[in-house]
Structure 1
Amino acid sequence: MNSNGVARGEARARFRSTPEAEARLLLLIDGFSHKRGGVRRSLEGRVKLAKLDFLLRYPHHLARILKDHGVQTENIGSLTADVAPLDSRMMRYRYGPWDPSYYAILGALIGRGLVEAFQLPGSRGLGYSTTAVGTELAIRLRQDESFETIDQRVRVLRKYLDKSGSTLKGYLYTLPEITNSTWYEEIS
């Protein structure tokens, strides 16, 4: 047991990649990797990735953020059909919600040639976009009805919340579940 009362094996599991998490992040990155007309773009930075993933995994918070910014959520489908977060819960860290497995997930996606990471121009940050193989896999995942909810949420995120990581962080800091939690505490 560590000082937080978490068994050692359970703590290690938080840092591992899962197929579900890889599929979710692949769909998220792919959703932000294309412009109309086939022009490439990227999801800019881990902060933005983490904030978008938080909203993807916690639909009740996504609905609240959208409503707070004037989006009529009745017109965009069922965001809150699943009350529980997808996959495992995220924890509060320095800049808001974070999943300790991001490094393993991104490493797995990059290592398999599904996602590429590159230096953003004029920045120290990294951009992420799907490769041709990653795009093909994302298309196949979207055709599987078990990924319908995730795909719908990614489309909503792209349409209404394609903002900078800092802007998204500011949106999340309006949520008491974020601001009132302590570092390493799981977010509900």
Structure 2
Amino acid sequence: MDYVEVLADLDEQPVLHKSRLLLLLYAFAGENNEGAIEGITKLAKLDFLLRYPTMLKHALEVKGASTRDLSIEDHELYSVESEMVRYRFGPWDHRYRFYLNLLVGEGLIKVISEGRKVIIALTDKGFAFANKLSANSLMQIYTKRAGILKRHFDMTSTNLMNFIYDTFPEIVSLNSGKRIQL
């Protein structure tokens, strides 16, 4: 098996995606698990910045924030572990609902609908699991970046979406369904 096949297989495994989303929700949950992410669109924009560290670096620079704490490994300069596509509201992964349903089924997250608004939060079980996951050395890079996202990009879904559009106009110009590449 060659590296391309290994990476393609990895992208098809939900465990990496579920873990990344759990760590993102963990960063937004706060110390007492009282926080949440409001909306799948906001989750997608945050996950975009988490998956594409070079884009996160640029976004931090645009905001005038320090990039000193953001470490990007050499292999991440030219590739991502899992590409996203351009969709109606910007970067998107068509598997979000699948991953969220898996996490709900495992009792790790809760998805609360309030009219048209959807709130995604960790359950107590999910918070405890994400806490252990955040200490795993293999997941440290996501844990650290999710914390950076919480500090610098905890804004409304609309404001985050507009920031992404303004900061990355090349994504907005892509045809819907087109893969976002570095």
Using structure 2 for the length normalisation, give the TM-score: 0.86
Q: Paired residue for 1:179, among 166, 169, 172?
A: 172
Task: Give the Cα–Cα distance (whole angstroms) in 2 for the partners of residues 45 and 85 of structure 1.
Answer: 27
5+ residue gaps in structure 2?
1-7
Question: Given the superposition, is the C-alpha separation of residues 113 and 142 from structure 1 closer, same or farther in structure 2, using an over 3 Å criterion?
Answer: same
What is the deviation of 1:57?
Answer: 0.3
**Which structure shows the higher helix fraction?**
2
Map 1:51-70 to 2 at 5 A.
51-70=45-64
Task: Give the Cα–Cα distance (whole angstroms) in 1 for the partners of residues 81 and 105 of structure 2.
Answer: 22
CA offsets per residue over residues 17-47 of structure 1, 9 Å max, x none?
611001000111121122x5x2612111011
Are 1:92 and 2:94 counterparts? no
Aligned partners of 1:57 and 1:86 also within 8 Å: yes
Question: Given the superposition, is the C-alpha separation of residues 183 and 58 from structure 1 closer, same or farther in structure 2, using an over 3 Å criterion?
Answer: same
Which aligned segments of 4 or more residues in structure 1 are displaced greater than 2 angstroms? Answer: 79-87
Aligned partners of 1:20 and 1:87 also within 8 Å: no
5+ residue gaps in structure 1?
1-9
Q: Which residue of 1 aligns with 2:15?
A: 19
Are 1:29 and 2:25 counterparts? yes
Q: Which residue of 2 aligns with 1:161?
A: 153
Query: Residue 154 of structure 2 aligns to a residue in which SS?
Result: coil
Q: Percent identity?
A: 32
Task: Give the Cα–Cα distance (whole angstroms) in 2 for the partners of residues 99 and 106 of structure 1.
Answer: 12
Map 1:91-130 to 2 at 5 A.
91-120=85-114, 123-130=115-122
Q: Relative to structure 2, which stretch is displaced further, 24-33 or 153-162?
A: 24-33
**Which AA in structure 2 matches 1:180?**
S
Task: Give the Cα–Cα distance (whole angstroms) in 2 for the partners of residues 80 and 159 of structure 1.
Answer: 21
